[in-house]
Structure 1
Amino acid sequence: MSRGETGARPPRRRRLVLAVAAVVTVAGGGAAVTVLANPDSRDTVPAGSPGLSSTTASVTRVDLSDSTRRDGTLGHLGERRINAGAAAGGGAGGTLTWLAPTGSVVKRNERVYEIDGRAVRLMYGAEPMYRTLKTGAKGKDVRQWEENLAALGYTGFDVDEEYTAKTAAAVERWQKSHDLRRTGTVGPDQIAFAGSAVRVKETGAGSGGDRIAVGDRITPGSPVLTVTGSERVVGFRIPAAEAGSARAGTRAHVTLPDGTRLPGKVSAVGRTATVGDDPQDKTPKIDITVSFDDPDKVTGVDQSPVTVELTGETRKDVLSVPVNALLALPDGGFGVQVVENGRARDVEVELGMFGQGRVEVSGEGLREGMKVGVPSA
């Protein structure tokens, strides 16, 4: 049969289903995609026209984007524990007299908890508070403490890794402002370090561990709070083989449970692929974290399901047809059935980007506004 008028199409369209599925899997990664254009219009072909599809769709120019959609979960940055610090000179601990409430955000120099009425305040830094700092002490933890003092306005010393008499004088001023005994030294019974402001997730060890409450006896090293970072983020997992679709810096849009759509980007990509808990899915996957451009606009409770759209390549102003308009041609390749003046002809096409039910096409004689046959719904 020539590529002029065509005969019946149903058998060839059925054969095409698997072929198109294979093409979409290769070209689109098997993921949902987005079309940045208006939907195509469809016309009904008069009944009884031999060889013609019962419906048609327009060849249109659109902007196609191969963005990938994933299901994610709303949460906060990494989880960690804050343990009770030892008092200077040791000691057996004391009674918990105050605790930052669940869901609250604790910032620099604010109270995290109190033991026997003595507050432990949060400071920023990666080094743990593991010893009492005093004149003559040296190390990264000294610099970290001095950076916090300077950030709070207690100056008059060099911010370095040496705890000097000038540092001690600044510490005394800090202690005076909090009605503490002015010793010039500071230890784990007065401050705790975290990378930034923290959000209190729960009391105690978390993850099913023991909970604590005001009035409980606390010993040094006991878990007091389970906290996360204060910033809202989204987490999801993807197969390790598809890691290229979610590199650090990849732009994204997150649709929240209330329908709000907010921009962001991939801020962290896991380095280790692991198999999840689903016994039916043994595909190695990696963890992806998306941070919001404006976290203050994020609403919704922790662990809420969200949709993440990872932005891929965008092709501007390309000719496109619905995916189900494609035909598998007898000699190989793909074509479309162009319908004009009540007659049909096959036009061979080259395929480009796929996007939400449409595909970029190019071919001799193909132009915007043409009608192409599509199968009936």
Structure 2
Amino acid sequence: MTETDTVTHFDDAEPTDVDPAETEPPRGARGRRTALIACAVVVVAAVAVVGALGLGGGEEKGPSAPPRAGSVVPVTRATLTERTDVDGQLGFGTEIPLPVKATGTVTWLPQQGATVERGDTLLRVDDRPVVLLYGSMPMYRDLALTSTAASSSVAGSAESGSGESDTGTGAAASPSPTTGTETGTGTGTGTGTGTAAPAPLTGMDVLQFETNLAALGYTGFTVDEKFTDATARAVKRWQKSLGLAETGTVGVGDVIYSAGKVRIGQPGARLGAAVGENTLTYTGTARKVVVNASAADAGWAVRGTVVGITLPDGKSVKGEVASVGRQASAPEGGSSEGESGAGAATLPVTITIADQKSVGRLESGPVTVEYVGREVKDVLSVPVAALVALAEGGHGLETEDGRFVAVRTGLFADGNVQVSGPGVDEGMKVRIPE
């Protein structure tokens, strides 16, 4: 149109020196350009139609769902472990009263939290030290050179021995006609002894004490079950080091036995009070964890079971179940039956920590204990996210090529799930939809 207007304008204007042949393009060229423009319009329209219809080059395909997004993972064979967390308390265990057998007035007590080892003084009664020794047998009698029981037996024999048995022969006594006195003849013999050699004190408690005495450096005797003169001499040296009278006899209240060194707990008596059953308490020196486990679900709590412990500072350490209480108790304000439910009752589970250094300086605080509830080995598994709900019910897996395979599910653990079924094989690729 512009070109036409221009030509018309030139026809009405004044004649010039310009040659019309130089300003007007040839009719053939102008026709070709018009044809090219028309072709371009047709091509653009065709492309738009193809794009709108979703057609394109390449292999023709039948109608199908649009491609699904998501990653593809293989079905793997593995061991699945179900882990459960329970709350616990880090500490030194339950405080136990020391079996103090000394009688008198408490004149000295150690500080709470102090560690007492073999040969150390636990407390003083009437200003006499009560010493800690190691062993499992409690002190139940005095240890001395002779046995009190044996001496009593000997003394009883002496009282009934002399003259009790008497035999004799002779004429009957008759009054003398001249003197008026009775005369007679006869002989008699008696059986019995008035004295006996004292029996040495023997027993397993002697062996236990002598073992401790030797461990403290007081030797010169044979460590056995007999309390001999050599033992008594070693006892005197030990008593001298304690500031006691050198008697060679160990009183029943002079020592207390424990399995090892102890940590002093809360005192149950004040200075100046009379000694009682709860005068002093103790615990072991190793930190441990106590869990009040549900009595209805305490099957995991078996002695020797290894568990994981998460400390208050977030650090994880290993523990081992050492003991399980046999008496269930209900929490305060509830009962094992009734409104609180049967699962309210708990059992105390004590867990030891072998590597005490791994705990650092922590002495107490709340912890989390992780134990293995169930475990299945050598099973097929996939990530839980790979499961899809099937229209006909149940679960299935979508294969890499878009098929769906029904599966049976088993244990869920650590983000994976156990799967099985006739169409599931190890290594099969399944899709995790986004």
Give yes or no for TM over 0.5.
yes
How far does residue 190 in structure 1 lie from its aligned partner after superposition? 2.6
Contact 2:296 2:342 in 1 (8 A): no
- State the structure with more CA Rg: 2
Corresponding residue number in structure 2 for 1:370: 430
Corresponding residue number in structure 2 for 1:154: 218
Corresponding residue number in structure 2 for 1:64: 80
Indicate how the Cα distance of structure 1 residues 81 and 53 shifts in structure 2: closer, same or farther if over 3 A, else same: farther
How far does residue 203 in structure 1 lie from its aligned partner after superposition? 1.3
Corresponding residue number in structure 2 for 1:310: 371
How far does residue 120 in structure 1 lie from its aligned partner after superposition? 1.6
- Partner of 1:66, secondary structure, is strand
Indicate how the Cα distance of structure 1 residues 330 and 172 shifts in structure 2: closer, same or farther if over 3 A, else same: farther
Match of 2:398 among 331, 338, 346: 338
Indicate how the Cα distance of structure 1 residues 331 and 225 shifts in structure 2: closer, same or farther if over 3 A, else same: same
Corresponding residue number in structure 2 for 1:106: 116
Indicate how the Cα distance of structure 1 residues 65 and 56 shifts in structure 2: closer, same or farther if over 3 A, else same: same
CA distance in 2, matches of 1:134, 1:368: 82
Match of 1:197 among 261, 269, 274: 261
- Partner of 2:113, secondary structure, is coil
Task: Please say which of residues 317-326 and 164-173 is displaced more in the overlay.
Answer: 317-326
Given the alignment of the two structures, is residue 350 of structure 1 paired with residue 414 of structure 2, yes or no? Answer: no
| C-alpha distance after superposition, 1:107-128 (max 9, x if no partner) | 1111212235432211122333
How far does residue 295 in structure 1 lie from its aligned partner after superposition? 2.1
Q: What pairs up with 1:182-221 in 2 under 5 angstroms?
A: 182-204=246-268, 211-212=269-270, 216-221=271-276
Larger fraction in helix: 2
CA distance in 2, matches of 1:282, 1:350: 32
How far does residue 291 in structure 1 lie from its aligned partner after superposition? 1.0
How far does residue 319 in structure 1 lie from its aligned partner after superposition? 4.5
CA distance in 1, matches of 2:205, 2:211: 10
CA distance in 1, matches of 2:242, 2:75: 69
Contact 1:254 1:307 in 2 (8 A): yes
Contact 1:257 1:300 in 2 (8 A): no
Indicate how the Cα distance of structure 1 residues 55 and 239 shifts in structure 2: closer, same or farther if over 3 A, else same: farther
Indicate how the Cα distance of structure 1 residues 218 and 312 shifts in structure 2: closer, same or farther if over 3 A, else same: same
- Partner of 2:406, secondary structure, is strand
Task: Please say which of residues 78-87 and 285-294 is displaced more in the overlay.
Answer: 78-87
| C-alpha distance after superposition, 1:215-265 (max 9, x if no partner) | x21323353322111121111122334333221111112111111211121
2:265 maps to a residue whose letter is: K
Indicate how the Cα distance of structure 1 residues 150 and 281 shifts in structure 2: closer, same or farther if over 3 A, else same: farther
1:291 maps to a residue whose letter is: T
CA distance in 1, matches of 2:413, 2:132: 49
Q: How many percent identity over aligned positions?
A: 37
Corresponding residue number in structure 1 for 2:185: none
How far does residue 182 in structure 1 lie from its aligned partner after superposition? 1.5
CA distance in 2, matches of 1:197, 1:288: 23
Corresponding residue number in structure 1 for 2:315: 260
Unaligned runs of 5+ in 1: 1-48, 88-92, 205-210
Corresponding residue number in structure 1 for 2:349: 288
Indicate how the Cα distance of structure 1 residues 141 and 330 shifts in structure 2: closer, same or farther if over 3 A, else same: farther
- Partner of 1:223, secondary structure, is coil
CA distance in 1, matches of 2:256, 2:114: 17
Unaligned runs of 5+ in 2: 1-63, 148-200, 335-339
Corresponding residue number in structure 2 for 1:14: none
1:109 maps to a residue whose letter is: G
Q: What is the TM-score when the length of structure 1 is the normalising length?
A: 0.69
Corresponding residue number in structure 2 for 1:82: 98
Corresponding residue number in structure 2 for 1:11: none
